[in-house]
Structure 1
Amino acid sequence: MIYLFASDIHGSAYAMHKLLEVYRSSKATKLILLGDLLYHGPRNDLPCEYNPKETSRLQNSVKESLICVRGNCEAEVDQMVLEFPVLSDSAIMYLQQLDGRMIYLHHGHKPLPPLSSGTIVISGHTHIPVAEEKDGLVYINPGSVAIPKGGYPASYCLLVDKTFTIYDFSGTALMSLTI
């Protein structure tokens, strides 16, 4: 199975369109959004084609395929326009293709709870892509599809078999990690 991870859309209809193109062309089973879906927040410039209303419509169009966690820019009012749960601070997945290892999904703006060695932590928030093992945990951050930072391009992550690969929208692999 193929899973697509993305974060920090920040209301960019442009980025959401690009992400849905990747979602469809990759034939991903699930689209996992790691928070900051609709609003840009006070520290960020407006992203390309900033349109939270259109962005929410696009997200709702694939609601059956979404798993979402709340980012620091989400508010309770967002749930009024989104037709899928968006207010949980974290989610847990177990995937057979990763030998049943726990995947802890969160935005990244709150401290991690105690986690067992071998846990895969997938978060956004920093807008900087990461794929590394450190202190017994695996860390994946797909970067940001709308407001990338640290000199990186807009990016997302695909999990295919046992490999997490972070790509930019031209299809160039930026980094990968096999579990």
Structure 2
Amino acid sequence: MKILFFSDVHGSPDSVEQLVRRIDAHAPDHLVLLGDVLYHGPRNPLRPDYAPPRVVEQLNRFKRRITAVRGNCDSEVDQMLLEFPILSEYATLLEGGRRFFLTHGHHWNPGNPPPLERGSVLACGHTHIPELKTLENGLISFNPGSTSLPKGGFDPSYGFYADGKLQVLSLESGEEIFSMQL
């Protein structure tokens, strides 16, 4: 199975347009959205392209292929517009005998991990900083970064999993930032 991961869209239709090009190129079976879909949040700048209704239209096209979790900026009002569930605090995905724990990262994160077996993937956004590393407890910490408001000097980014390889990729160039064979 091929899975494309993305997070922290924050109402940016330009970022989603770039993401759709990556979706077309990778042809993933499944999309995982790790929260913060429409609202920019009080700590983030308002992007010039901020247009949540356009983001809703763009993402609803993929409603049958998206598993999404709630971010700290997502609300029940957002769910009224989106045609796929976004209000769960976490979800799990089993692929290739490995558990992916999907969460936004404001509750469960590398500093406060859920109780998982060694080798499980803790997939979260929230920090807007891409990451892919093995933690001391044996969990794999995976953050695809942000498609719209990257931090830490990184470009906008997303994640991709196929054939046991997990990657963080630049949204603009498609170039690999991090990768790990699971």
- TM more than 0.5: yes
Equivalent residue number for residue 156 of structure 2: 154
State the TM-score, normalized to the length of structure 1. Answer: 0.95
Question: How far apart in 1 are the matches of 2:134 and 2:86?
Answer: 28
Sequence identity (%) = 43
Q: Which runs of 5+ in 2 are unaligned?
A: none
Question: How far apart in 2 are the matches of 1:125 and 1:75?
Answer: 15
Q: Deviating runs (4+, > 4 A) in structure 1?
A: none
Aligned length: 176
Question: How far apart in 2 are the matches of 1:160 and 1:113?
Answer: 24
> Over aligned residues, Cα RMSD in angstroms?
0.9
Matched, 1:104 2:111: no
Map Cα deviations across residues 54-73 of structure 1 (whole Å, 9 max, x no partner): 00111111101111000000
State the TM-score, normalized to the length of structure 2. Answer: 0.94
Aligned to 1:141, which of 140, 143, 157? 143
Q: 1:146 to 1:48 in 2, by over 3 A?
A: farther
Q: Which runs of 5+ in 1 are unaligned?
A: none
Q: Is the 8 A contact 2:36 2:71 kept in 1?
A: yes
Q: State the one-letter code of the partner of 2:155.
A: P
Q: State the one-letter code of the partner of 2:145.
A: G
Cα offset, 1:48, TM superposition:
4.4
Greater displacement, 62-71 / 107-116: 107-116
Matched, 1:73 2:73: yes
Q: 1:167 to 1:64 in 2, by over 3 A?
A: same
Map Cα deviations across residues 1-59 of structure 1 (whole Å, 9 max, x no partner): 21100000000000011111111111111111000000100000012411001001111
